[in-house]
Structures are given as C-alpha cells and as structure tokens.
C-alpha cells in the first residue's frame, strides 16, 4: 500500500509556495503547477507501486483539478486534455458534504482560511468566509457534474467518521473482490495466449 497526497512533490513545492505566498498565481499557472506536481508524483510515486502490484491510495486526484480549475475559469476541456497522461483510477470515491457543513467544520477548526482555498483570488468577496462559501459552493457543483461524467462513487461525508469509514471499506472490499475475480478469470486466457 502506498499513499500519495495532492501537491506534495518536492519539485514544484518551491514555486507553488512562493506563488501562493505572494498571491501571484493566476488560474492558469495554478492549474499548470498542480499538473506538474501530479506528473512528478505519477512517475515517481504512483506508477512504480502500481507496477509492483500495490494499492495506491491517492488523497485527491485529477478530479480535484477538474473541479477547482473549471470554477476558476479555466476551460474544462483543456484541463481534461491536460491530465490525459494520468492513469485512470480503478476506484474513485467522492466524499460529499453540503456547503454549510463544510463551512461549519472549517469555522470550528478556528484556523485562518487560506487565500486560494477560500477562492479569494477570484475577488468575489473580500470576506474570507463568504468567499469560501461562494467558491467552494461552485466547486461542489462541479464535483456533482464529475460524478456523472466519470462515474465517481459517492460517500455521504456529513455523517460520523465511523459511518463514512464503514461505507468506504464496503466499497473498497467490493471493488477488490471484483478485481480478484477478474485476475482469476484472466489467468487462463493469458496462458492460452502464451501458447
């Protein structure tokens, strides 16, 4: 098992960090930098464990980019083509929460909202909380479109962690059982082909 997180490659960290600090990122450079980060992790952290037969748990995937970049005004078709080098995940799970739950959880954390996370770069509102509500509200709408387009599995994330974990494990178990069956049935065919 291998875990990989969004925006964690050492290569682009410096540029992303500098850009975020100075609020210097445009929607396009924001999008491209995250794609660069993704490409770096795909080649170093995702493909090797996949080849070794491991399970890769990705905390966010290309769908995050599709939802956020599109909300920021980047062309939705362009960003899909941009990520066409990505490996299509075997299972993609979307943890869905209503925007109010998301805002409440965030306020409960009592941390300062981040500039880009709150979509303050869009200039829709000068109030971070209001901006977050507007921006993330639009992002959630995008996700709902993605669920249909890419057939994402949805877990209701407004419930308790235990409930979510139970639903998640059920999904994963079902998927792994299906994958195991596929492997079993595939083996004889491979042997046939080899003959």
Footprint of other proteins (CB under 8 A): 10-12, 14-15, 18-19, 24-29, 32-33, 35-36, 39-40, 42-43, 62, 72-75, 77-78, 80-88
The nearest distance, CB 175 to other proteins, in angstroms, is 18
CA distance 195 to 92: 36
CA distance 154 to 145: 12
When the beta carbons of 69 and 102 are compared against other proteins, the nearer one is 69
Give the residues across from 114 on adjacent strands.
Answer: none
Do residues 36 and 85 make contact, with C-beta atoms less than 8 angstroms apart?
A: no
The nearest distance, CB 170 to other proteins, in angstroms, is 26
The nearest distance, CB 146 to other proteins, in angstroms, is 12
CA distance 85 to 39: 8
When the beta carbons of 15 and 113 are compared against other proteins, the nearer one is 15
When the beta carbons of 34 and 133 are compared against other proteins, the nearer one is 34
When the beta carbons of 69 and 106 are compared against other proteins, the nearer one is 69
The nearest distance, CB 127 to other proteins, in angstroms, is 22
CA distance 72 to 27: 6
Q: Burial level of 35, CB count in 10 A (0-12/13-18/19+)?
A: buried
């Amino acid at each position: 098992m291998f875990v990989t997180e969004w925006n964690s490659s050492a290569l682009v960290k410096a540029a992303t960090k500098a850009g975020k600090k100075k609020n210097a990122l445009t929607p396009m450079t924001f999008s491209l930098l995250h794609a660069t980060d993704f490409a770096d992790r795909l080649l170093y952290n995702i493909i090797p464990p996949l080849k070794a037969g491991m399970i890769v748990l990705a905390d966010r995937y290309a769908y995050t980019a599709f939802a956020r970049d599109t909300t920021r005004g980047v062309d939705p078709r362009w960003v899909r083509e941009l990520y066409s080098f990505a490996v299509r995940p075997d299972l993609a799970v979307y943890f869905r929460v209503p925007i109010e739950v998301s805002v409440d959880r965030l306020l409960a954390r009592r941390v300062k909202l981040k500039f880009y996370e709150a979509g303050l770069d869009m200039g829709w509102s000068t109030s971070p909380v209001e901006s977050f509500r507007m921006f993330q509200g639009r992002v959630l709408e995008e996700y709902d479109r993605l669920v249909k387009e890419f057939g994402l599995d949805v877990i209701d994330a407004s419930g308790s962690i235990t409930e979510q974990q139970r639903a998640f494990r059920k999904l994963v178990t079902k998927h792994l059982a299906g994958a195991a069956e596929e492997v079993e049935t595939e083996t004889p065919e491979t042997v046939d082909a080899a003959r």
